[in-house]
Structure formats: C-alpha cells, structure tokens
Structure 1
C-alpha cells in the first residue's frame, strides 16, 4: 500500500462514517413525533444516546488500541445498520429508546479508530516524521461534505418518497442503514490492519483497562494533551449552545415552524460546507500563523467573533436577521474546523500508537461533557434572559479558550521528546 492509497481509503471511510448521520438528522425528531412520542420522550431518547456514548468513549477507544482499528470500525458500522434500520420501523417509545442505545454504542466505537488507522499506516509507510496535516484536513473536509450531502438528501427525500409504501419520514434512516452497510463492506475489505502486537483473547481483555488507565495518565500528565482537553470541553459547550438555540431563532425569523425547519436544513447544510472549507484551510492556517498551535488559536478567535455576530443578530428581524444569523453560523464552523484539524494533529503527535484511539476518545468525551453542561445551562439562561445573552456568553467562552494555545509546545518538539528522533524536514516546513 502507498501513502496515496491509504489516504483514498481513509477519505472514503470518513465520508461513509458520517453520511448516515447526515441522512437521519433532519427527519429524526419529526419521525419520532409522527410515531406518537412526546417532546419529553424524544428528549429522553437523545439523553440515553449521550449517556451511552459518554460511558463507552474510553473503553471502546482502549478496545480499538488493543484488538485493532478495523475490527472496531466494522462493529461500529454493524451497530449503525441495526440502529437506523430499527429506527425506520420503530412505532413505540421503547423501540426508539433502543435505537438511542444502539446509536450511542456505534458512535463511541467510531470515535477515533479511522484516524488512528490512517496515522499508524502513514507512520508505517513514511516514518514517524510523516506530515499528518494534509490527510487529516482532507478527512475532516470529507466528513463535513458527507454531513452536508446527507442533510440535504434527508431533508428533501421525504417530499418525493411514495407515501403509500412507507412513511416518507422513515426513508432517510433506511438510506442511512444502507450507507452504513456499504461502510461495513469497505472497512472489512479495504482497511488492512497496521502493524501492532497480537495478543491472545485473555490478554486482550486484561489489556483494555490497562490501556485506558495508561491513556488517562498520559492525558493528565502531558501539558499539550491537558490543554487540548480543556479546549474540547469548552468547544462542546459553545457548539451545543449554538445548535440548541439556532433552530428556534430561525423559526422565529422565518415566521412558522415549518419554514424555520426548512431554513435550518439549508443553514445546517451551509454550516457543514463551511466546516469542509475550514478543514481544507487548516494546513494553510498553520503555515501562515507559524505553527499548529497559533493556527488553532486563530481559528478559535474567528469562531468567537462569529458567535459574537450571531448574538448581535438577535436584535434583527426578517430577512436581515435570517441572513445575518446564517452567515455567522457558517463562518463559525469555518473557524472551528480549522482548530479541530490542528488539534487532531497535535494530539496524534503527542500520543504513541498503543494509546492513540483511547486518547482521541478522551477528547471526544470532554466535548460530550461540555455539551451536556451546555444543554442544561444555556437553555435556562436563554429562557430567562434571551438568546442574545446566551450567545454572548458562548462567544466569551470561545474567546477565552484561545488562551489554551498560548505558549503551547510545538508538536515537533513533543514528538522529538517522545521518540528521541529529529522530525522530518517536511514537518518543519509545514509549520
């Protein structure tokens, strides 16, 4: 396998991993409501999904580091197929609750192994000094493209689906299950496992908790990883505050819930497109700013300014408010995606292969935890003081989180300290 071939396979997996999520996004809540669930029951389904994901993030990350990336990715794809197929035919609260559990398991399993596979494969082919930014940036861009395509397709397919055969709102999760089945085949056939030590089954079972514990010690004891976890925590709070309050604000501006839903589908698709642009711009941002940490800080500053503009649009009505809010939303995702790609690079530069996925899962866990706090706090704040105040606080938090990157050691020094080797010249040139 060549580096180019590994990149193509990684990009295909990135796209197929997130396409099912995009397909089900716009119809999921409406489908549950159509099948008779109350808002409280729908909220409980989402809560169960989040709890399962949070509880399994670190164990499944350790599992991927021990048994292999391909196995865990394949199991994740299988759970996604089961979850979305069940969602399409669910008719009761308990059936939808089970889909939340299955989706949570799938999400936790998929958090990190694909990127770990690509990094390990590239290191096998080009050595530990291989430049990770271009591949990770393209992977992030393809994930956003998949979400954008999925949201648009999932939003408009019910309009043309034959209602006499199946409930139109059930078609998007059916398509998502089909996409996940394709992912399963691709993972099994196209992702050869990078070199790593094989253990007997009993050794694997003992190694998983040991790997998780070692990863926690690594994160808490490493200055770069500690700072990145703080950033992920804050970013989870900011992003959730935006996603929580944007649909209602757009519905208010559009005039009706139906128009607001359509407006949100378009804005969400544009946001994912902005995220793809931000991911593609990440290497350029690092070169221009003079390093990954500085590029990450620049992305956070752009995010904070965009959220501030979003807060300012809360005083506008009609088309002006709709365009202003939508534009700020898109630019926010550009900035945040620049930072996410560079954070991913810094994480993998600081982590040995044996703990790569578990440490990545720690960042995902921090982001989920921040989102949980945001769901509670920002909802209450917006209800008492208005959307503008909530978004202003989110903008302030985003701006303060840029301090995480100030004085952060360069990733090339981190790798040199870990491996005892000088990084390749391409790494220095990229920074």
Structure 2
C-alpha cells in the first residue's frame, strides 16, 4: 500500500524541522571557529585566506550541486551535505596547521554548496503538489525561517558557553567541544533528511545520464537568470548580502575579544551577541508576511527592511568608538536590528524568486542565488580583511553598509507571480533563498 501524501501542515512542519537541523551544525561551530584558529597560531590574514577558500569552493560548486539536486534528488543531496559537514567538522576539531584548515574548508564548502537549495526546493515543490501553483509560500517560509533562527540562536549560545564549562585537558580543547557537538548534529540531519523528505518516484538515473543532465540543468538555470531582467536584479542583491555578512562574521569575534580581554570570554560574548541577532532573525521571519501586508507589496517591504539593515550595520561601525560594556551593548542592539530586518528582506526576496521559476530549475536557481552570496563573501574575506587591517573595523563595516544600501536600486517594479521558467517535471506545480 503506497504511503499517504503529506498534507500542507505536515509539509510545513517537516520543512521547519529540516531547516532547524540544516543550520544547527554551523551554529554550534560558529562561535568558536575564528577563535579556535587563532588559538592554534593563525593570524587574521591567514584566517581570512582560509575563509576565502571556503567561499571559493562554495562558488565553484554551487551550480553543479544545485543541478544535481534538480536532476537526482533533493533528499539525497541534502543527506550528502550532512555527510560532508560531519567529516569537515571532525577534522576541524583537531586541525593544527594552515594546510589542514584549508583542506577542512574544502570539505565544509562542499557541504555548504550541497545544502544551499534542496530543503527549500523540496518544500515549495511539495506544497505546490498539494495546493497548486498558487499556494501561498510565505507561511511555510516564515515557519522555516523561524526554525532556522531558533537553531542558530540555541547553537550559538551552546557554542559560546560550553567551552567555559569544559575543564582544560590533554584530550580536547574546550573551544573544540562545540565543534564535536556539531558533528553529532550533522549526523542527525543526515538521518532526518532520509526519513522526513519523501519525494515522488524519479526515473532511475545512470551515472552517464546524471553527468549529461546536470550541465544542461545548470545552463538552463543560468540562462533563465540572465534572460529574466527582474530575476537577474534580485540575484545581484545576494552579492551585497555576502559582503556585509562576511564582514560581520570575520570582524566581530576579534572586536568582542578585544572588549573583554580574553579569547574564551570573547567567544562567549560573541555567542550571546550572535544569538540575539538570530533571535532577531526569527522575529523578522515571523513578521515578514505582516510587514508585506502593511506596506502593500513585498517589494516595498523588502526595500524598507534593506534601509533598516544598512542603518544597523552603520550603527555597528559607529559603535567602534565605544569600549567596555557600552561597546558590547551597542553590538547586541545592532545585531538584533540588523538580523531582524535582513530576515524580512530574505524571506520576501525568496518569495519573489520562487514565483519566477519552475520546479525543474528551482534548486539550480537557488544555487545561483547562493553563488552570488558566496562570491560576495569571498570578495569580502579578502577585501574587507585588508580594509580592516589598513583602515580599521569601522571602515570595513561602513563599506558593508554602503553595499547593502545600494541594493534598494535593484528591486524591480511590477513583480508578479507569473511563471517565467520551464515547469517541465514539476509534479503539477507549474510555477513558481534565504540568508542567515
């Protein structure tokens, strides 16, 4: 007897669960990541290079992995992402040399590229199969965004506080313990993806067919992104997001460590600050549909939220003049406002993009979007790190704020829910990425 198809509420619940687990490994490892490399002798320039390798791998693999998810299976690709993440984080916990961290980032970047589209593509396709191509995507995207934000918040707090509770020993450094916990979370994601993401049967694909079809799907997705002017402009927004987010992630841990005087306490304070930011992210995801209703269109709401995001990053730049507790409190306030507004932008921009692509190209287009994000991050890892070294943290954050503010010019007028891409193989969903 074939299994009963999922209902729309069940699809939304499962997407929220999967999204929670997608972000948990990264959240647990994020707080100690830069400080762990610093404690093992890497300078800020070397750390910037290591992070640039991560971004480069993501850029190189985003499109092939998105095409793989469209051709092969959303579920299988997400499970593979979890496996690569578990391997990378295990090595990261014990790495000592620069070349080892570079190799870790090759694996970790592969995991990120594999995970950037399958879960959301599965959600949209599954909901379209149940409710049709006119299904309202915002409630499920909102629930998934909240779940991801809760995951990031909880994981960041755990990653920041666990090292303080672990006594120093000869086996594992305290800063490495959250990274090992992230390995367990990655294995949990692998199992959940295989169990909780049913897909309609696909024709059995041979290796030759996959190698043939993935480039064709990638080419089709790229062509759609270039041909559709509105979609091209929406994709370009992600480049500026990558610059701003990388500037925050690269420079905040060192800034807070300087304010507190110790790497461990700096990591703990960073975890609290980032967790508050992710709590703001969850709030933004929850209120985004209401903001769109209040301002009349998703475009207007996205533009307004972008202005608030840029202003918050500018406020962080100004807070560099503060020291001690005032500096920490300013960072907390800036993170909450910044990530709440950025989450509103992300969700509404995702909705606009999904309305302009069919199922057969959905994961590929999300990979194009993530490609832009990672490319911006790669540029920032090299350029922002250099700018911070030459002119200071405030100048680097100001540059990120300007890049964000300029994106308000990219949101095109007259965005509608018409299908622009091919809907071939769409399971009856004739039409139709989220940044943390």
Normalising by structure 2, report the TM-score.
0.89
For 2:17 and 2:378, how far apart are their aligned partners in 1? 31
What secondary structure does 1:99 align onto?
A: helix
Q: Which moved more, 1:249-258 or 1:174-183?
A: 249-258
Is the Cα contact below 8 Å between 1:124 and 1:194 reproduced in 2?
no
Is the Cα contact below 8 Å between 2:53 and 2:102 reproduced in 1?
yes
Distance 1:315 1:156, change over 3 A: closer
For 2:163 and 2:266, how far apart are their aligned partners in 1? 17
Task: Using the TM superposition, give the Cα deviation of residue 41 of structure 1 relative to its aligned residue in structure 2, in angstroms.
Answer: 4.8
Is the Cα contact below 8 Å between 2:164 and 2:174 reproduced in 1?
yes
| Aligned with 1:415 (options 409, 419, 435) | 419
Task: Using the TM superposition, give the Cα deviation of residue 372 of structure 1 relative to its aligned residue in structure 2, in angstroms.
Answer: 2.0
The gaps in structure 2 that reach 5 residues or longer are 1-5, 424-428
| Aligned with 2:151 (options 120, 142, 146) | 146
| Aligned with 1:71 (options 71, 76, 79) | 76
The gaps in structure 1 that reach 5 residues or longer are none
Aligned to 1:104: 109
Q: Which moved more, 1:101-110 or 1:192-201?
A: 192-201
Task: Using the TM superposition, give the Cα deviation of residue 132 of structure 1 relative to its aligned residue in structure 2, in angstroms.
Answer: 0.4
Task: Using the TM superposition, give the Cα deviation of residue 200 of structure 1 relative to its aligned residue in structure 2, in angstroms.
Answer: 4.2
Provide, for residues 271-313 of structure 1, a one-character-per-residue CA deviation record: whole Å limited to 9, x for no partner: 1111111111111111111111111111101112212222332
Task: Using the TM superposition, give the Cα deviation of residue 33 of structure 1 relative to its aligned residue in structure 2, in angstroms.
Answer: 4.5
For 1:250 and 1:263, how far apart are their aligned partners in 2? 7
Matches within 5 A, 1:31-430: 31-35=36-40, 41-161=46-166, 163-164=168-169, 166-194=172-200, 199-255=205-261, 257-407=263-413, 409-412=414-417, 414-415=418-419
Q: Which moved more, 1:326-335 or 1:252-261?
A: 252-261
Task: Using the TM superposition, give the Cα deviation of residue 389 of structure 1 relative to its aligned residue in structure 2, in angstroms.
Answer: 3.4
Distance 1:132 1:196, change over 3 A: farther
For 1:285 and 1:249, how far apart are their aligned partners in 2? 33
For 1:196 and 1:289, how far apart are their aligned partners in 2? 42
Aligned to 2:20: 15
Q: Which moved more, 1:110-119 or 1:368-377?
A: 368-377
For 1:140 and 1:297, how far apart are their aligned partners in 2? 19
Task: Using the TM superposition, give the Cα deviation of residue 142 of structure 1 relative to its aligned residue in structure 2, in angstroms.
Answer: 1.2
Q: Which moved more, 1:196-205 or 1:332-341?
A: 196-205
Distance 1:132 1:350, change over 3 A: same
